[in-house]
Amino acid sequence: MVKIKRVEYSLDHTINTKTPSMLFMLAIVVMSLLLNQSGVVFGVNISFADIFCLGIFLSVLYKKELYIPIIPSLFYLIVSAVVLFTAVIYVPIKFEISPGPIRIISDYIKLIAIFVYFIVGYNLSKLGFTQTIIKWYSIFGVFLGGLGVLFTVFHLSIFSNLLYFAGTRYKGLMIDPNYFSVLNISALAYVSRIKAIKNRYKIFIIFITFLSVLSAGSKTGMITFFCYFVLRIIEYLFLTKKKMFSVILQLLFITFFILFIPIFISKFSEVISYLSVHFPSFSRVEYLFTDFGSAISESGSGRDDTWKVAIQIIQLSPLIGVGIGTYTDIAYEMFQYNNVAHNTFLQLSAEWGLPLAFFFFSYLLFTIGKVTFSNKQSSPRNLILRDIIVVLLIGSVSISLNNARVLWIFLGAMLFSLDGKKMKAET
pLDDT at 263: 66
- The residues, ordered by sequence, that sit 6+ positions from 32 with a Cβ below 8 Å of its Cβ are 132, 133, 134, 135, 136, 137, 140
Residue 32's nearest CA partner among 326, 406, 389, 357 is 406
The residue with greater pLDDT, 97 or 314, is 314
Q: What type of residue sits at position 334?
A: M
Q: How many CB atoms within 10 Å of residue 244?
A: 7
Q: Which of 111-120, 210-219, 314-323 has the lowest mean pLDDT?
A: 210-219
**Rounded percentage of the chain residues whose pLDDT exceeds 90:** 55
pLDDT at 5: 42
pLDDT at 248: 74
Helix ranges (DSSP H) in 7-159: 22-34, 49-62, 70-85, 91-95, 101-126, 130-153
Task: Report the chain's C-alpha Rg in angstroms.
Answer: 22
pLDDT at 271: 65
- H-run or E-run covering 40: strand 39-41
CA angle 169, 174, 180 (to 5 degrees): 65
The residues spanned by each domain of the chain are 11-419
Sign of the Cα pseudo-torsion (144, 145, 149, 150, in order): negative
CB 325 within 8 A of CB 106: yes
pLDDT tens profile 349-404: 999 999 999 999 999 999 999 998 888 888 889 999 999 999 999 999 989 898 89
Helix 130-153 with 22-34: angle, nearest 10 deg: 40
For the residues 206-230, what does the mean pLDDT come to? 91
Residue 28's nearest CA partner among 62, 53, 50 is 53
For the residues 184-188, what does the mean pLDDT come to? 96
pLDDT tens profile 231-289: 988 888 776 776 666 667 767 777 776 676 666 656 656 666 666 666 665 666 655 55
Tell me the CA distances in angstroms from 387 to 33, 80, 295, one per residue in order.
Answer: 19, 28, 26
pLDDT tens profile 161-171: 888 887 788 99
- Cα of 40 vs its chain's centroid, Å: 19
pLDDT at 12: 35
What is the C-alpha separation between 26 and 322, in angstroms, rounded?
Answer: 41
CB 61 within 8 A of CB 4: no
For the residues 98-122, what does the mean pLDDT come to? 93
What is the C-alpha separation between 130 and 125, in angstroms, rounded?
Answer: 5
The residue with greater pLDDT, 74 or 1, is 74
Output the pTM of the full model: 0.86
Q: What type of residue sits at position 93?
A: I
Q: Which of 219-233, 329-343, 409-423 has the lowest mean pLDDT?
A: 409-423
- H-run or E-run covering 44: strand 44-46
Tell me the CA distances in angstroms from 47 to 37, 42, 405, one per residue in order.
Answer: 6, 13, 9
β-strand pairing of 39-41 with 169-170: unpaired
For the residues 11-15, what does the mean pLDDT come to? 38
What does residue 162 show for φ and ψ, rounded to 5 degrees? -85, -40
Q: How many CB atoms within 10 Å of residue 148?
A: 29
pLDDT at 161: 80
Indicate the burial class of 94 (C-beta count within 10 angstroms; 0-12, 13-18, 19 or more). middle
